[in-house]
Structure 1
Amino acid sequence: MAGTQKQDKTIVIAPLVLLSVLDHYKRSKIDSKERVVGVLLGDNTKSDKIVQITNSYAVPFKENNNKAGSDIWFVNQQYIEEMITMTKKINAKERIVGWYHTGTKLRSNDLQINNSIFTKYVKDPILCNININNLRSLGSSGTSFKASDLEEFAEFDSNIPIKSYVCVEDVKEDGSVIEKNFQYLPSIIEAEEAEEIGVEHLLRNVKNSGKSELSKRLKTQLDSLQTLSYKLNGIQEYLELVIKGTLPANHQILGKLQDIFNLLPDLSPEINNKANSLSRAITMNTNDQMLMIHITQLVKAIIAFDDLIENKIANNNIKMKELKLSEDKKTEPETIKA
């Protein structure tokens, strides 16, 4: 029986890290059997059970893929140290928490890379095995790819394109042999509001070119209306529960709702003459605006028609002058002969 030093941690990775890894893989233009390696930055000091990964950068890496289980590999440590100095100038709170590679599974030399390179910078480096094929398929089916898609993709841990590990020691009962192996850690994808907005702006051009702009605009408006309907239904359910006495009245929420109602225009009919004065005023204002637009279009059409007439007259004058010149040239030789 062996005793294992278990790690009870959860890896929280930002969508920006996945985008950086995907960009690193595409820029490398390597063969599908090869993989890229990089450094993960974040914070592992806020909690003993959570490792926050917020940033990453690529690292020059080569390995021998011709021979199975080959121990020949190279990681540029000088580049890592130079990048550490540069990242501290930008954000001193971010530190090295581990490393990543884009292979489909763990390889025999991962333990050597982890223990000989990255243990110099962090006590228990995190290894994230990122499956590029699953990551690229996230935005391939829809019209656009948003940061919220990554969070929906992360609902089931087995389906996310990330497998996280940490190196632990397996000690036998007699203490004779100590082996180091990778222990699996659960991973989740989590984005802050500001980061989600930024990622959506970056991925705005990642869309399906087969769909027209009109369909995309209509889908966006439909999604907005569905969200609004969902929010209004939630407000209605809350007010009904308050009326029934199931939920206590929260004056702060009711005050916010009253502020919303105060911003809405009063379109209710008057009690005396049953006429909706505000609605009539809005209709009259709209009609006046449409009348001005109609008059403007008529004026533009009249001006264009006038320009056309003047252009026709000018062209006719030019033709008459040309005909007159040609007739004058014909009469000149006859006068000379005479």
Structure 2
Amino acid sequence: NSFCTLLLRGRIPDFKPVVRRPSAFELRPPHERPQPHTQRIMDDPRDLADDTHAAEEPEQGDDAPSSSSPSASRGLIPTAVDVHPLVLLSVVDHFTRINAKSSVSKRVVGLLLGNVVKGADGEPRLDINSCFAVPFDESRKEPAVWFLDVNYAEEMWQMHKKVQPRIKVVGWYSSGPDIGVNDVDVHLLVAERFCPNPIYCIVNADPAKKGAPVAAYMASESRGSNVAVEFRNVHTNLGTVEAEEIGIEHLLRDLTDSTVSTLSTKVEDRHVALLQLETMLGTIETYLNDVANDRLPVNPEILELLQEATNIAPVVHQLKTSPGMLVATNDNALATMLASMARTVTALYDVIVNRRQLRRAALEKQKAQEEEKKKKADEEAKKKSQDRADDADDVKKA
């Protein structure tokens, strides 16, 4: 239905299925290709201070450099990415609307808007504060066949540009849950039509899947593999402003269940974190096995990071027999037990007080009903006696 609607509106007059083949990026000479992120990140990020100011300045007329110019793209090389809650809410709403009447979940795609700002440490950070959906479809049997309505995306970007001239197209998003087969082709298309160095964000739109809500990636030249471009993870944070924090607090008031205790929430968070840690450790184990079996080349940067993570890990096997650790654990358990007992006693006291109030209210109501009945009975008796007296007077007069 969406394809028919787009065809009737004239959105895609020359639509052709996009089959996996050497892309325009791969067919270009090496000196004409857009430079990947890693070549700029390896330089000193402080050199981008002037580019940050250039990215924050508003555009002036048609002569101002567009977001696809090299000078603008240099400012979009951040050391970290901040994603606002409004972006996550928009992606989840897009995913829910598309899959409302579908038995099989479809992946959704859109463009990310934002700009480069200076962080507290003076380093450039990519601030993603808005986004919009783009019609996208792909074949389940042949993942290499897909369609992205670029004309619609350009029209939406022009409308956003009129309202917010300072923001730029900084990348694209999808609902994942993982990197797809055709994501490299979509990424190269976005890099060719909108911004040379886009950020790719995968947003977890399924509430049943616990874990990080968003993960950001950037494209770089592959090292030692048959793929020209590969994705590498970027440090991602959730950034908010004061207005967004207030809105999130109001939303949490409606979504948070007051019957769930804080302890159970903490346990669930620890469980999710441990599952995520287990997944990461499994990925590291797979990578090390592939390197040991000569299926992947040795990367000194990754090995250095693994060695650093191993060095800062606590020595758990020595702490297990430490008396101090046992004493601290027992003290924490005792404090938790006393707090639980106090909370239980307080709850029981509230129940007892509530039952007494209900009983007192029931007795007062019963007493009022009895008094009302007695008053009515007295009035009826008095009325009957008065009627009898009147009848007797009438008899005497007769």
TM-score normalized by structure 1?
A: 0.49
- The one of the two structures with greater contact order (alpha-carbon pairs below 8 A, sep at least 6) is 1
Greater CA radius of gyration, 1 or 2?
A: 1
TM-score normalized by structure 2?
A: 0.42
Kindly indicate which of the two structures has a greater share of residues assigned to helix.
2
